[in-house]
A and B are shown apart, each in its own frame.
Chain A
């Protein structure tokens, strides 16, 4: 029983990471109708930026607070420089850019930082697990940070004028321009936010799985499974999906398929969702009358 609770809590902790990356995927998906395959590699690269700062003697939280806005800028610049010229290009052009970005970030990271696994510090302390040994300090800390990030993003989109304009620009760019919303800026902002969320997820997961240029490959797959499971058109659904995938992954890994085959659960979920319920659990089937 203790083992089960422990696995469940670990599942929620890693689920939070998947939920963040899933949210980043959904944000870009809603604006462009494509999945940004490079989301994970961008997060990995941000994590290296943080590590470089920390190794240079910058305190953890200062490095954290520098990495997030730097990642935001990288994301926004990618949208402006690479994606915007492709706004009217066919689907394959965007997909090509995503894959190109994935490979570029991966190899540049390997070139600069080498492919060896590096430990990444946790800011929450290495001490004994808390609450009767069920949850490590890092799990508790990273889950809290993740929840704060997700809640702030939700509040931003729900309650601010800018958040509303960003949602509008994603749904209906033509009408958005007609009411004066600068759609291109909103898209760049969306990319920036997605990259910033990814950076936080990367920094939270790195202490657990160690940092290397391929660190986010598995995370991205789980996040994608989470996004599909919750519904790729529904940010809240994608977040819930991310948590569910984290729990399934941990329980499945411990009791069903074993750790070696854990990643296949992600693929299994993707295939099942796409064949049984393509809109996902919470995906909106849009009602419209003409």
Chain B
């Protein structure tokens, strides 16, 4: 499969404290890639680096084009949708307005209407709560809203930051089922970051294991899932 995103020797820091120490990885077109690792390993920072939210060194190529140093909003306009940690809900706005913001970069009315209908099909609960203030949604519903908002960008690459965070197991199951459906039904490429390794490996093609800003392991998701020693020592399940 052709490469959609290529990251070379990525270094990143928050002020003085270095968080990423030279990451190399690729996201293939149409596949699900996952970055696994514990709290503080640098997963969220890696996604933020791709979206241009912090200063980095190294190289980030999207569809062969360098995107480093670009503004976050320009990167989004290129087709990289980012579901941030904490879900990034526009609390004061309605669910409908949140969704409409997802289409900000688009001008194809017919396409937007089609994608909107598709989101209501994937997330029927959002349709029920369309004119409710988004801040009143439950955590799971806000996560669904965040995914739908990102999908409405009609992106080529979807960055997902811990979609399971702070949610009840049943809701997490539901969300990952929907993600699985999205993967099967579209050609969307996804880069998902997770603490919950078993969930992420179940939908991923390829996995990278991150420890304090460095990769300690990478490979096909299936292989990693089957490797019991690896699972016990790094993934803790």
Residues of A bordering B, CB below 8 Å: 161, 164-165, 167-168, 171-172, 174-183, 284, 286-290
Contacts and interface: CB of A to CB of B under 8 A. Distances in A.
B92 interface: yes
B90 A288 contact: no
Contacts of A180: 73-74, 76-77, 104-105, 153
Contact of B135 (A167, A182, A289): A289
B95 to A, nearest CB: 13
A172 B134 CA distance: 13
Given A164-B101, A287-B136, A178 B92 contact: no
B149 A174 contact: no
Contacts, number: 85
A290 B168 CA distance: 12
A178 B84 contact: yes
Contact of A177 (B72, B92, B133, B138): B72
Interface string B141-170: 000000001100100000000000010000
B179 interface: no
Contact of A289 (B76, B93, B139, B150): B139
Contact of A181 (B53, B73, B139, B166): B73
Nearest to B133: A287
Interface string B204-225: 0000000000000000000000
B137 A179 contact: no
Contact of B136 (A164, A171, A178, A288): A288
B91 A171 contact: yes
A21 B90 CA distance: 27
List 4 A-B pairs, minimum CB-CB distance, nearest first: A175-B88, A180-B105, A180-B76, A288-B135
Contacts of B102: 179
Contact of B91 (A164, A176, A179, A286): A286
B100 interface: yes
B135 A287 contact: yes
A166 to B, nearest CB: 11
